[in-house]
Amino acid sequence: MKAHIQTINSINQNNQKSQYIPFENELDLCCMVRIERDNRKVGAFLLNQGDIKDENQFQVVFAFQIKGVHSQIYPEEIASISASISEAMKSILPGEKCTFLLGRYSDDSARLEHL
């Protein structure tokens, strides 16, 4: 198992006891990694879920932003986007997985300033 950091007990300025629980104990994060290959540099998160000695318990997470898909698009555009995603998924190795976490964020500050 991953080593846990002990809680910290201290006495504050008012002579009251305080207990601090390390945030790291609540995460699966081992460390941040940097991968350099073919003149490209990529950052990622290395996660561990369980026994740190078991190499199958590790997960590398790459976070990135891409231009979103508009909610009002033509059927032809959907087919093109779907084909592109399908083609990209062919490069994932057998036994590997890919998870997309999507969100919708808008920035209307330019429009508000204009108004």
38 vs 48 pLDDT, higher one: 38
3-class DSSP assignment, residue 58: strand
Q: What percent of the chain has pLDDT over 90?
A: 15
Average pLDDT, the chain: 82
Above 90 in pLDDT, residue 65?
no
The answer to whether 46 and 60 have CB atoms below 8 angstroms apart is: yes
Look up residue 55 and give its two tokens. 């190499």
* Cβ-Cβ contacts under 8 Å for 21 (sequence gap 6 or more): 7
Domain boundaries, the chain: 8-114
pTM equals 0.53
Kindly state the average pLDDT of the residues 82-99: 83
Kindly state the average pLDDT of the residues 95-106: 75
Q: What is the rounded radius of gyration, in angstroms, for the C-alpha atoms of the chain?
A: 22
Residue in the block written with tokens 């057998």: 94
Above 90 in pLDDT, residue 24?
no
